[in-house]
Amino acid sequence: MLTRRTLLLFTASISAVGCTARAQTTPSAANEARFGQSLWRDVTDAQWRERLEPLAFRVLRQEATERAGTSPLSSEHRHGTYVCAGCGLELFRSDWKYDSGTGWPSFFRTFSENVATKEDLLLFTPRTEYHCARCLGHQGHVFEDGPRPTGLRYCNNGAALRFVPA
Ligand SMILES: [Zn+2]
């Protein structure tokens, strides 16, 4: 019988797998051709901890999710580019941003060559998690309930992004 305790233990073990699986994120061949040799892949956790704000470190390097409605980037409406808060790689244009009503910065398109994805089973429902293809920092999850023309919703942690005004 599945007790609450075994369920919790099961969740914890899945969660542990989720953390170690970060290294197994499988960037596409195109990702790897571009970024496989990048020095950003050699930055250690200790170095990341020094470079990043605490929340950005938890999101990018430990796959945490920021609380909904807490990112100032949700209400950022200027023209510009959203780059990885870890390594500065361009991930989104402001033209691709929309208000999803979720409390997280949301986009219907990304620079796909700069993003790597993997299946995430943390919530028992597979979700596709995506990472910066260069430093492999965790950004967010992509869902298939976005607006036209792509139908995609890239639900991104604001702490994992930096906005660069045009
Ligand atoms: Zn990055």
Q: State the pLDDT at residue 20.
A: 37
Q: State the pLDDT at residue 100.
A: 96
Lowest mean pLDDT among 11-15, 30-34, 37-41, 57-61: 11-15
* Neighbour-count burial for 113-152, b at 16+ CB within 10 Å, e otherwise: ebbbbbebebeeeebebbbbbbbbbbbbbbbeebeeeeeb
Active site residue 155: yes
- Model pTM above 0.75: yes
103-132 confidence digits (pLDDT tens)? 999 999 999 899 998 766 666 666 789 999
Region 30-41: mean pLDDT is 90
**What range does the domain containing 31 cover?**
4-165
Q: State the pLDDT at residue 68.
A: 97
Region 11-23: mean pLDDT is 37
What is the CA(126)–ligand 1 centre distance, in A? Answer: 24
Q: Does the pLDDT at position 21 exceed 90? A: no
* Selected catalytic residue, list 84, 87, 135, 155: 155
Q: State the pLDDT at residue 118.
A: 77
What is the CA(115)–ligand 1 centre distance, in A? Answer: 9
Q: Does the pLDDT at position 38 exceed 50? A: yes
What is the CA(121)–ligand 1 centre distance, in A? Answer: 23
Region 55-72: mean pLDDT is 97
CATH number of residue 28's parent domain: 2.170.150.20
What is the CA(82)–ligand 1 centre distance, in A? Answer: 11
Query: How many domains is the chain built from?
Result: 1
